[in-house]
Amino acid sequence: MGRLLFIRSIEGRVLAGITMFVGMMILVGWVAINEEARMQAFVRQHTGRAIERGAELYASLCSECHGEEGYGSKDRAPGLNNPHLFGYDPVGAQTAAITNANRALVRLNKDIETLLTELTNAQNPPTDERQNAILAEIDDLEAQLEEQHALIDQAVAERETKLKSLSAAVKRGLYPLWDTIEDIPSTAENEVETFFFINGTRLTQVGWAGDLQGYVVTTLIHGRPGSANVWLSSEGMAPWSQLAGAQLRQDQIEDLAAYVLNWDKGNAWTDDDLIAVQQFGKPLADGSLPREPGPPPAGDNVNAILTFWAENEIVGSEATGGVLYSEDFGCTDCHGKGSAPDTVGTFERALNERLALPQFAGYTVEQYLVESITRPGDFIVDGFSSGLMPANFGTRMTHQQLADIVAYLMTQ
């Protein structure tokens, strides 16, 4: 009896062991298989929360001007839940067709001109046979010209029909300044094409080269200086970021941007969505186009700077460095005037004298120069006063500028 129990319990333990082992393998496999899915779910949740937080901020801070559903309000603020802002151009296909046909016209006309020159060449007249061939070719090219003209007429007519069906949106500013363009005589067709090319989407209209996310974030940070002059019944778009002395933190700005971008319908925008917009954007006031933030300053962490250069393949330009050294950053106000070590001989001194000092064991000349420029207080050259060389160059220079100056000093 006891023996049986013992065996049973051994069997049981083995079984339990096997079960556990198999279970663990399944678990490990499941985790591996689902890692990707879990990451995606996590990202979705994370974005979802950002959008929710953004929605709350939007309701309390933005909806009074941009409208609860983001359709904008008349003469007050442009719609943000707006196909035009997201890059939907309702007559884009027609504009592209006309542009292509115009290019073909230019090419065909040039070919015809070349053939005519050959045909009428008095010094070297073509044979009768060649003359006939040329005339036949010209006939063919002229037929092609006709085809392209027909394509243009068709696209222009289509565009007109489309614009009529969108007249509600056009009245609310979908194509600002279109009224003034319509008066242009038909000889100025190119201007009409240029107009539609430039005003096809909101981002081309304002000349923003980056993406929409950057456009929204930058607008929120800096606002639109001078926009109150363009939007007479509104205070205009103010800056919102703490960076510009206003109330919102960067994470709140990002949440708001996530909420606005959440309106994107991608390829599914329709003309009805355009008609739902109550007010479209206007041409920007002079100088109010937001800019992408500039590159970050180099800082004063020598190792981080050198690593950044290596990772981003930043290489200094000796020539630019020379200009930055003597003009932009005024290094020559002191260097070369007696109150600071001479510029000439910098490299030799660094290599033979400074690197021979115990505290610079293992340094390269480049490393020494970066440190001297960004942290001048760390080491004072014998015979010169401390605290004289400005300590803030690291925050005033970009990585590229610092690298340029170092490249210049390496030649001195």
Residues 26-45 that bind ligand HEC (CB under 6 A): none
Compute the least distance from the CB of residue 407 to ligand HEC, in Å.
11
String of contacts with ligand HEC for each residue 370-399, x by CB under 6 A = --xx--x---xx--xx--xxx--x------
Q: What's the full length of the chain, in residues? A: 412
**45 contact partners, CB below 8 Å, separation of at least 6:** none
d(CA 52, CA 58): 10
Q: Could you tell me the CA-to-CA distances from 90 to 160, 161, 243, 334, 361 in Å, in that order? A: 11, 11, 37, 61, 67
How many residues line the site for ligand HEC (CB under 6 A)? 57
Cβ-in-10-Å burial (0-12, 13-18, 19+) of 186 comes to exposed
CB of 410 to ligand HEC, least distance (A): 10
**Site for ligand HEC, residues 240 to 269, rule: CB under 6 A:** 240, 256, 260
Query: CA 79, CA 218: separation in Å to the nearest integer?
Result: 17
Asked if residue 288 binds ligand HEC (CB under 6 A), the reply is yes
CB of 382 vs ligand HEC, minimal distance in Å: 9
Least Å distance, CB 51 to ligand HEC, is 13
Among positions 78, 83, 173, 200, the unique one binding ligand HEC when judged by CB under 6 A:
78
Tell me how crowded residue 341 is: count the other CB atoms within 10 A of its CB: 19
Q: Does residue 170 interact with ligand HEC by CB under 6 A?
A: no
Residues 147/153/154/159 CA torsion (nearest 10 deg) = 150
Determine the interface stretch with ligand HEC among 32-40, 110-118, 292-300, 335-343 (rule: CB under 6 A).
Answer: 335-343
Is position 62 an interface residue for ligand HEC (rule: CB under 6 A)?
yes
How far, in Å, CA of 406 to CA of 317, rounded?
9
> What is the Cα–Cα distance from 32 to 131, expressed in whole angstroms?
76
- Applying CB under 6 A, which residues contact ligand HEC? 58, 61-62, 64-66, 77-78, 80, 85, 202, 216, 219-220, 224, 227, 230-231, 234-237, 240, 256, 260, 281-282, 284, 288, 325, 329-331, 333-335, 339-341, 346, 349-350, 354, 369, 372-373, 376, 380-381, 384-385, 388-390, 393, 405, 409
